[in-house]
Chains A and B, each alone.
Chain A
């Protein structure tokens, strides 16, 4: 209840501030006509997870504010993506709003023209609160949400930075310092590995496809770029080979057996059992790590940024947004909901619950909001990651093929494959696919 009050107040404060600015001229202009579409019914298709939960939990407030009825459905990510594509391709989607994964769907959705352009709505003071301006979104968010023509096709909702989780107790036991560079990290991981005791220095995704999200952290820090100016894929170059060697070394010498089949869930299981000392993954896992019912390492988890590589320090960034189907008949009403989803109040709740990090700078840098975050160390790692954020996958249409093929090459190195050979083989397969899809 208390949290709700704060939200309302901050929302009102924003409006009031805008009103004060407008004292000189048109005070009425700043008012969003929230009630204008009362009685409209909206359908939202969400991917299952904390973002969807956050929307569903507080959606009544939106209905109170606008009189718009909202039906929403959370579907597991993989199926949600399939369903969305099939429905959008049919031209008559059953939903007005769609929760999209930028790192997978951006190019595909843009090319197919499935999303409505939000730019005119954002300029309309009857529809948009004055605090919602595109400059408030982080660079990565804008890069994701805007197409080549600079149109906003969605509102950036929640960003995933990759951070380093570490087990303070194991570090202390072995007298190891928190690594600042990838090289230090490997050395630390080797020191922390004690196969006899069943503890390992590092754990992370080895599973094909999922592992790309981890590997790109190394690749970017070795100075890699995904595409050249002509759109050619570069991830089999010397930086990629070096990054893969590091990946191979960490996951074969310092990781639990069977890591080739680990996704984030298996990695998290090993980490929460206190079996692995370090884990690099998306930033959303603080709540389960600090939950006594699910974790044996409550209060012993350290959070920090991904260590620097020889060519810089970056955190692989992924994200999702909320957009409106171009075929929707209730675009204005749907836009009001988009705005509410990306609002300061909802963003603060998401951040405070540890379920995600809003793309909006005004939320992340708000001291009041920060006070409500339980794990201050986690928050710091997230804020620091934001400064070194870089998109974690190439923005191309066949992302899924890319992740599968190159991901399989990475997995193959875990059972002894040679990094250079495996990468080359994967790219030989991927290049024609990329060419075909970008040409079409």
Chain B
């Protein structure tokens, strides 16, 4: 009874000077979002960092070990190798789709009969489920029964071991990645090409520029921002790529295609070493943030030069 009496005048006080009524009332609208962000982004991160500072194995008591898990990383050859694999895998699966995607975009930008239909076919790989794709490619890579070696034999090349040899496994996986994601790059670049005005080409033609010169000095600089976006999307995708590698090789043969992500999965969910796994996750996260920041910075710079050039 007393409580209500106390609250009532308080509420009346606030209601009186109109403006103050707004001040406390926006919180109820912020709180749900805040709670969600805290619960699903901030809390897991803080908790992951906390786990990474502990010796935390499922089924064993948890002990605080400070930075010991992080100290283990540089001395763990598997982790160091995984970093190397991740870099190679990422570099290749960003570069190749960018190159082929740009070429495809230039081709599909031309007007020719059946263009819409062919474009449709070309983007189909992007629409398929990565795991399903991976299973199909696994069959295609089979050294004895797969179609890849058959195709090689048609042009007189000797059979390859593809994903079954440590030396060729990463390029083979990149082949799948490239096949699947070239269309995405193409779509982005096509958008870029559509936005380029036609006048620069006309004047270049009058000046006697050939196709390559027009591509190099007009098209490429004008679609550069789009290439950056495509590159960034590809980079983040490739760094964290898991499904295709896991489904085709599980990081093998041996650990020749084990990227940080796959190693992280093994440590946390097969070895149940959550502390060490969390340390890897934290480092991995920092890497991705640095990469994304770097790319954003580069992109911003191109925009500036573009504006500078325009002015």
Over the window 135-164 of chain B, the binary record of Cβ atoms lying under 8 Å from chain A Cβ atoms (1 yes, 0 no) is: 000000011100000000000000101111
Asked if A108 and B59 make an inter-chain contact with CB atoms under 8 angstroms apart, the answer reads yes
Which one of B12-20, B97-105, B248-256 is at the interface?
B248-256
Task: Please pick, from A257, A398, A429, A440, the residue contacting B164 in the complex, using a CB distance under 8 A.
Answer: A257
Asked if A429 and B76 make an inter-chain contact with CB atoms under 8 angstroms apart, the answer reads yes
Asked if A258 and B270 make an inter-chain contact with CB atoms under 8 angstroms apart, the answer reads no
Q: Which residue of A lies closest to B272 (CB)?
A: A85
Asked if A400 and B57 make an inter-chain contact with CB atoms under 8 angstroms apart, the answer reads no
Task: Please pick, from B63, B161, B166, B269, the residue contacting A82 in the complex, using a CB distance under 8 A.
Answer: B269
B279 to chain A, nearest CB (A): 14
Counting chain A residues whose Cβ lies within 8 A of the other chain, the interface size class is 35 or more
Label chain A's interface by main secondary structure: helix
Label chain B's interface by main secondary structure: loop
Indicate if A414 sits at the interface (CB-CB under 8 A). Answer: yes
Using Cβ atoms and an 8 Å threshold, which residues of chain B touch A111?
Answer: 59-60
CA of A111 to CA of B251 in the docked complex: distance in angstroms? 30
Asked if B161 and A258 make an inter-chain contact with CB atoms under 8 angstroms apart, the answer reads yes
A63 to chain B, nearest CB (A): 33
Q: Which residue of B lies closest to A270 (CB)?
A: B144
A259 to chain B, nearest CB (A): 8
Those of A111-140 within 8 Å (CB) of chain B: 111-112, 114
CA of A42 to CA of B78 in the docked complex: distance in angstroms? 43
Which one of A150-158, A168-176, A318-326, A404-412 is at the interface?
A404-412
Asked if A400 and B271 make an inter-chain contact with CB atoms under 8 angstroms apart, the answer reads yes
Using Cβ atoms and an 8 Å threshold, which residues of chain B touch A88?
Answer: 59
Asked if B159 and A260 make an inter-chain contact with CB atoms under 8 angstroms apart, the answer reads no
Task: Please pick, from A258, A407, A408, A436, the residue contacting B144 in the complex, using a CB distance under 8 A.
Answer: A258
Indicate if A386 sits at the interface (CB-CB under 8 A). Answer: no
Indicate if B266 sits at the interface (CB-CB under 8 A). Answer: yes
Asked if A261 and B59 make an inter-chain contact with CB atoms under 8 angstroms apart, the answer reads no
Indicate if B200 sits at the interface (CB-CB under 8 A). Answer: no
Indicate if A338 sits at the interface (CB-CB under 8 A). Answer: no
CA of A88 to CA of B161 in the docked complex: distance in angstroms? 42
Contacts A89-B59, A429-B76, A429-B78 known; A412 to B164 CB distance under 8 Å? no
CA of A275 to CA of B144 in the docked complex: distance in angstroms? 10
Using Cβ atoms and an 8 Å threshold, which residues of chain A touch B177?
Answer: none
CA of A78 to CA of B61 in the docked complex: distance in angstroms? 24
Which of A89, A111, A261, A400 has the most B CB atoms < 10 Å from its CB? A261
Over the window 401-424 of chain A, the binary record of Cβ atoms lying under 8 Å from chain B Cβ atoms (1 yes, 0 no) is: 100110111011011000000000
Over the window 159-194 of chain B, the binary record of Cβ atoms lying under 8 Å from chain A Cβ atoms (1 yes, 0 no) is: 101111111000000000000000000000000000
Task: Please pick, from B58, B254, B266, B270, the residue contacting A411 in the complex, using a CB distance under 8 A.
Answer: B254
Using Cβ atoms and an 8 Å threshold, which residues of chain A touch B60?
Answer: 111-112, 437, 440
Asked if A412 and B254 make an inter-chain contact with CB atoms under 8 angstroms apart, the answer reads yes
Indicate if A231 sits at the interface (CB-CB under 8 A). Answer: no
Indicate if A17 sits at the interface (CB-CB under 8 A). Answer: no
Task: Please pick, from B76, B166, B271, the residue contacting A398 in the complex, using a CB distance under 8 A.
Answer: B271
Indicate if A207 sits at the interface (CB-CB under 8 A). Answer: yes
Contacts A85-B272, A112-B59, A411-B253 known; A257 to B161 CB distance under 8 Å? yes
Indicate if A349 sits at the interface (CB-CB under 8 A). Answer: no
Indicate if B77 sits at the interface (CB-CB under 8 A). Answer: yes
Over the window 38-68 of chain B, the binary record of Cβ atoms lying under 8 Å from chain A Cβ atoms (1 yes, 0 no) is: 0000000000000000010111110100000
Asked if A208 and B78 make an inter-chain contact with CB atoms under 8 angstroms apart, the answer reads no
Using Cβ atoms and an 8 Å threshold, which residues of chain A touch B63?
Answer: 440
Using Cβ atoms and an 8 Å threshold, which residues of chain A touch B166?
Answer: 260, 412, 415
Over the window 382-410 of chain A, the binary record of Cβ atoms lying under 8 Å from chain B Cβ atoms (1 yes, 0 no) is: 00000000000000001011001101110
B224 to chain A, nearest CB (A): 41
B135 to chain A, nearest CB (A): 13
Asked if B76 and A257 make an inter-chain contact with CB atoms under 8 angstroms apart, the answer reads no
Those of A354-376 within 8 Å (CB) of chain B: none
Indicate if A86 sits at the interface (CB-CB under 8 A). Answer: yes
Indicate if A274 sits at the interface (CB-CB under 8 A). Answer: no
Contacts A257-B144, A400-B271 known; A208 to B254 CB distance under 8 Å? yes
B21 to chain A, nearest CB (A): 47
CA of A440 to CA of B255 in the docked complex: distance in angstroms? 27
A76 to chain B, nearest CB (A): 14
Contacts A412-B166, A415-B166, A440-B57 known; A208 to B144 CB distance under 8 Å? no
CA of A86 to CA of B144 in the docked complex: distance in angstroms? 40
Asked if A261 and B159 make an inter-chain contact with CB atoms under 8 angstroms apart, the answer reads no
Known: A260-B254, A414-B253. 16 other contacts (CB 8 A): A85-B58, A208-B252, A208-B253, A256-B143, A257-B143, A257-B159, A257-B164, A398-B271, A400-B266, A408-B254, A412-B166, A415-B165, A415-B167, A415-B253, A429-B77, A437-B60
Top 7 A-B pairs ranked by shortest CB distance?
A: A112-B59, A258-B164, A258-B143, A411-B254, A408-B254, A260-B253, A261-B164
On A, residues with C-beta under 8 Å from B are: 78, 82, 85-86, 88-89, 108-109, 111-112, 114, 198, 206-208, 256-261, 270, 275, 398, 400-401, 404-405, 407-409, 411-412, 414-415, 425, 429, 436-437, 440
On B, residues with C-beta under 8 Å from A are: 55, 57-61, 63, 76-78, 142-144, 159, 161-167, 249-255, 266, 269-272
Q: List 25 A-B contacts (CB under 8 A).
A: A82-B269, A85-B272, A86-B58, A89-B59, A112-B58, A198-B144, A208-B252, A208-B253, A257-B143, A257-B159, A258-B144, A258-B161, A260-B252, A260-B254, A261-B252, A398-B271, A400-B266, A401-B271, A407-B254, A411-B253, A411-B254, A412-B166, A415-B166, A436-B55, A440-B55
